[in-house]
A and B are shown apart, each in its own frame.
Chain A
Amino acid sequence: MVKIAHLYYDIMNLYGENGNIRALKEHFERQNIKCEVHFLTIKDKIDFEKYDIYYMGMGTEKGQLLVLNDLIKYKNKIKQSIENGKYYFMTGNSYELFGKYIIDFDGNKIDCLNIFPYYTKRINKKDYMEDCDFRIVGTTSGKCIFLDKEIIGFQNRGGTIHESDRYFIKINHGVGYEPKNLYEGYLYKNFLGTYLLGPLFIRNPYLTDYLIKKIIKEKNSSYKFKVFKSTSEIKAYETFVENFIRNI
């Protein structure tokens, strides 16, 4: 049995992120592993020891701060739980919350969980060309450092991350967390954060399988995995790579 906490499911859900929870559940169940998902949000008491996986998706700038306001009281517990090897999958701007602070549009510093050394800067008009429209938008793909498969995804964000010391995707197409470099994501123990938004685990079935296998193996090292070779997800992935990544 695997337990997943879908954190702030009703706020951090801007771009079809519910697909990630469905993908994880489906991939576990294909391996005959029971999977329970709890939907938790503001005012719920969140236990940071009870679950195997904590997931959070992308929100609006306002929604993100609403969440931060609730999340900050768990700061030490979250830090401990990451150290203890719990899985954290944070997609879109949710991973900004685990850094030191966010500098907002007016230059104010908003304290975050301060678990990792990076900070976030909201994209400001004067930093970029006027037409840039304050957001980084587009298809992104890159080489994953722990998987021999290209990661595909989409970005649509109003922030950039700075002074990060880790990554897990080397960008081939698109931009990284800081547009001037080609690194994307943050990997520390079993914490995985990335600006790639939306149904990342639907769109990257190889990544999803890698992760769920790792989790299952930790519980049962002799587990015999079933192989699924030509699911619709895999075909969608291959088709996208063929149409948009290799042919660009």
Chain B
Amino acid sequence: MALAITICKVANSLSKLLKKEGTVIGGFWALKIYPKVLEKIKYPKYVIGVTGSSGKGSTTELIAHILNKNNITYAYNKNGSNAINGITSLILSNTKLNGTYKKQALLMELDEKHMVHLLAHFSLTHLVITNITRDQPPRNAHPEYIQSLIKSIIKNNMHLVINVDDPLVYGLTLSHKGKITYYGMDKNNYSKETHLHNIDAQYCPICGSKLNYEFYHYGHLGKYKCSKCEFKRPNPDFLAHTIDIKNKTIFINNDEIKIPSNFLYSVYFTTAAYSLANTLGIKKDRILNSINVDAFIPKRLNIYNFYGRPWQMLSSKNENNLSYKQSIDFILHEKGIKTIILGFDNSSRRYKENDVSWLWDIDFESLKNKQIDKIIVIGRFKYDIMTRLEYAGIEKEKLILINDLEIEIIDVLKNKTKGNIYSMVCFDKESELKEILKKEGIING
């Protein structure tokens, strides 16, 4: 074992010297020479996993922040390496040669799929489950498949911290005999009462009858109740309520809390991190202090000044209809006239498959809005997006198609559009836009 740990550390250091991503290769070699190395480690008191289709990265980051402010030593996969080699590397880099993990907590953002292989070697003390939604189907099949994977790693000695607004999450914990902490979100001005056709989990996991919803936050997340049996969203132990997204404040039970950004999902990750910290026994005042006073700084916003008009760049959450919709909702909740840029060259950065079906699961109809001046469509799938927007009933005179980004975009934005600019494009297209702005002498901030 000492050899495997040493090799892991040496390989990581060498890799770092060569200026490569030094976090995966060590784990790869350690597992190669000693496949059972993870089973032999003496783990700390807290082995915390965070999983789900979205929000796991932000939740993990905020938990790390709270641990840090409360002097609990920890290691976590900050760079997002959430597959087995990356996490093996993380663990072994923090382990003494005698196999004892050196810190008080091990915190991991876990990929829903990879964690099945990882957790065959060791177990968690705490597992946070954020949500199970449609996400990268070529890789993740569908929500029920992901639900079955998560279920396979849950053990009764784990303390589960779950988002009960999601019936797919709550449903998989019904037979759990260990501790469970529920968190959820109350009705707010983002919630909807309309009935959508394209949502998952419309039927009760117990009796197969239709679920009725009092309201939806988005997708199948909301307050549900079976039309026949007793299955319903339980009362959350930690309920986010009196939600004021604009001013970035919420209440969790009786306490006012600042949320780090004005996106709806920050309500969830803040509540999840708060709940988890509570289950670790960190005093409430200390948790509040870590969030409210020692402010948690979210990722820097991508805002540019385009000839006096603010231009905010959001990433295009391809193949995750609910995340994509949340970005649209964010734009719609902003004040004033808006111009939106949409587009992508590939559906995914992780694999070559280019499925476009997810475009039809997103409520682009909500872009039929007087405040929207123009929607500019770019990228290799521009006609697919155009088709979707036309079917959404958006007036043709509002839609502008760009064939050559470099030649056309500045001129089109300057002369044919009004208002604040929001781009929601894939990573490659965002880089191109930044290059074009740079040539115009426009840089971030």
Tell me if B354 and A139 are in contact (CB < 8 A): yes
Chain B neighbourhood of A17, CB < 8 A: 357, 360
State in angstroms the CA–CA spacing of A140 and B137 once bound together: 16
Chain B neighbourhood of A156, CB < 8 A: 137-138, 141, 355
Q: How would residues 138 to 154 of chain B score, 1 for a CB under 8 Å from any chain A CB and 0 otherwise?
A: 10011111000000000
State in angstroms the CA–CA spacing of A63 and B144 once bound together: 9
Chain A neighbourhood of B202, CB < 8 A: 10-11
Chain A neighbourhood of B137, CB < 8 A: 14-15, 156
Interface assignment of A236: CB less than 8 Å from any CB of chain B: yes
Which of B49-57, B84-92, B306-314, B382-390 is near enough to bind chain A?
B382-390
Chain A neighbourhood of B210, CB < 8 A: 42-43
Which of A96-104, A165-173, A185-193, A194-202 is near enough to bind chain B?
A194-202
Which of A18-26, A175-183, A208-216, A219-227 is near enough to bind chain B?
A18-26
Which B residue's beta carbon lies closest to that of A60?
A: B144
State in angstroms the CA–CA spacing of A179 and B443 once bound together: 51
State in angstroms the CA–CA spacing of A210 and B358 once bound together: 25
Task: Determine how close the nearest CB of chain A comes to the CB of B152; give it in whole angstroms.
Answer: 13
Interface assignment of B296: CB less than 8 Å from any CB of chain A: no
In the complex, which of the residues A13, A16, A62 contacts B144, with contact meaning CB atoms closer than 8 Å?
A62
State in angstroms the CA–CA spacing of A200 and B265 once bound together: 32
Which B residue's beta carbon lies closest to that of A205?
A: B387
Task: Determine how close the nearest CB of chain B comes to the CB of A71; give it in whole angstroms.
Answer: 14
In the complex, which of the residues B134, B138, B354 contacts A244, with contact meaning CB atoms closer than 8 Å?
B354
Chain B neighbourhood of A231, CB < 8 A: 387
Task: Determine how close the nearest CB of chain A comes to the CB of B414; give it in whole angstroms.
Answer: 25
Interface assignment of B380: CB less than 8 Å from any CB of chain A: yes
Contact of A232 with B383 at beta-carbon distance under 8 Å, contacts A16-B198, A60-B145 already known = yes
Task: Determine how close the nearest CB of chain B comes to the CB of A20; give it in whole angstroms.
Answer: 9
Contact of A66 with B208 at beta-carbon distance under 8 Å, contacts A235-B383, A239-B383 already known = yes
Interface assignment of B330: CB less than 8 Å from any CB of chain A: no
Tell me if A137 and B353 are in contact (CB < 8 A): yes
Chain A neighbourhood of B300, CB < 8 A: none
Tell me if B355 and A154 are in contact (CB < 8 A): yes
Interface assignment of A111: CB less than 8 Å from any CB of chain B: no
Contact of A18 with B144 at beta-carbon distance under 8 Å, contacts A11-B203, A199-B357, A239-B383 already known = no
State in angstroms the CA–CA spacing of A19 and B363 once bound together: 12
Chain B neighbourhood of A15, CB < 8 A: 137, 355, 357-358, 361
Task: Determine how close the nearest CB of chain A comes to the CB of B307; give it in whole angstroms.
Answer: 30
State in angstroms the CA–CA spacing of A233 and B359 once bound together: 14
Interface assignment of A89: CB less than 8 Å from any CB of chain B: no
In the complex, which of the residues A13, A43, A232, A244 contacts B198, with contact meaning CB atoms closer than 8 Å?
A13
Contact of A66 with B203 at beta-carbon distance under 8 Å, contacts A15-B357, A233-B387 already known = yes
| Residues B119-160 near A (CB distance < 8 A) | 134, 137-138, 141-145
Give how many A residues have a beta carbon under 8 Å from the other chain's beta carbons: 41
| Residues A15-71 near B (CB distance < 8 A) | 15-19, 22, 26, 39, 42-43, 60-63, 66
Interface assignment of B301: CB less than 8 Å from any CB of chain A: no
Contact of A13 with B197 at beta-carbon distance under 8 Å, contacts A135-B141, A232-B390, A236-B386 already known = yes
In the complex, which of the residues B198, B353, B358 contacts A138, with contact meaning CB atoms closer than 8 Å?
B353
Chain B neighbourhood of A154, CB < 8 A: 353, 355-357
Task: Determine how close the nearest CB of chain B comes to the CB of A69; give it in whole angstroms.
Answer: 8
| Residues A114-143 near B (CB distance < 8 A) | 135, 137-139
Which B residue's beta carbon lies closest to that of A25?
A: B391
State in angstroms the CA–CA spacing of A145 and B198 once bound together: 32
| Residues A225-248 near B (CB distance < 8 A) | 231-233, 235-236, 239-240, 243-244
Tell me if A18 and B358 are in contact (CB < 8 A): no
Contact of A236 with B354 at beta-carbon distance under 8 Å, contacts A11-B203, A66-B203, A158-B141 already known = no
Task: Determine how close the nearest CB of chain B comes to the CB of A174; give it in whole angstroms.
Answer: 11
Tell me if B354 and A60 are in contact (CB < 8 A): no
Interface assignment of A203: CB less than 8 Å from any CB of chain B: yes
State in angstroms the CA–CA spacing of A26 and B357 once bound together: 18
Tell me if A236 and B197 are in contact (CB < 8 A): no
Chain B neighbourhood of A62, CB < 8 A: 144
Chain A neighbourhood of B387, CB < 8 A: 202, 231-233, 236
State in angstroms the CA–CA spacing of A202 and B354 once bound together: 16
State in angstroms the CA–CA spacing of A63 and B143 once bound together: 11
Chain B neighbourhood of A9, CB < 8 A: 197
State in angstroms the CA–CA spacing of A137 and B137 once bound together: 9
In the complex, which of the residues A42, A198, A236, A243 contacts B357, with contact meaning CB atoms closer than 8 Å?
A198
In the complex, which of the residues B145, B360, B381 contacts A202, with contact meaning CB atoms closer than 8 Å?
B360
State in angstroms the CA–CA spacing of A138 and B202 once bound together: 27
Which B residue's beta carbon lies closest to that of A202?
A: B387
Chain A neighbourhood of B208, CB < 8 A: 66
State in angstroms the CA–CA spacing of A197 and B134 once bound together: 15
Tell me if B384 and A236 are in contact (CB < 8 A): yes
State in angstroms the CA–CA spacing of A202 and B391 once bound together: 10
Task: Determine how close the nearest CB of chain B comes to the CB of A4; give it in whole angstroms.
Answer: 14
Task: Determine how close the nearest CB of chain B comes to the CB of A78; give it in whole angstroms.
Answer: 22
Which B residue's beta carbon lies closest to that of A13?
A: B198
Chain A neighbourhood of B141, CB < 8 A: 135, 156, 158
| Residues B338-370 near A (CB distance < 8 A) | 353-361
Which B residue's beta carbon lies closest to that of A154?
A: B355
State in angstroms the CA–CA spacing of A198 and B355 once bound together: 9
Contact of A18 with B197 at beta-carbon distance under 8 Å, contacts A139-B353, A199-B357, A232-B383 already known = yes
Closest 5 CB pairs of A and B: A198-B357, A16-B360, A236-B383, A16-B357, A19-B360
A and B contact pairs by CB, cutoff 8 A, 8 listed? A11-B203, A15-B357, A16-B357, A156-B141, A198-B360, A233-B387, A235-B383, A239-B380
**Extra A-B contacts (16), CB below 8 Å, given A10-B199, A14-B137, A15-B355:** A15-B358, A16-B360, A18-B361, A19-B360, A22-B360, A43-B210, A60-B145, A66-B203, A135-B141, A137-B353, A139-B354, A158-B141, A198-B357, A199-B357, A233-B387, A235-B383
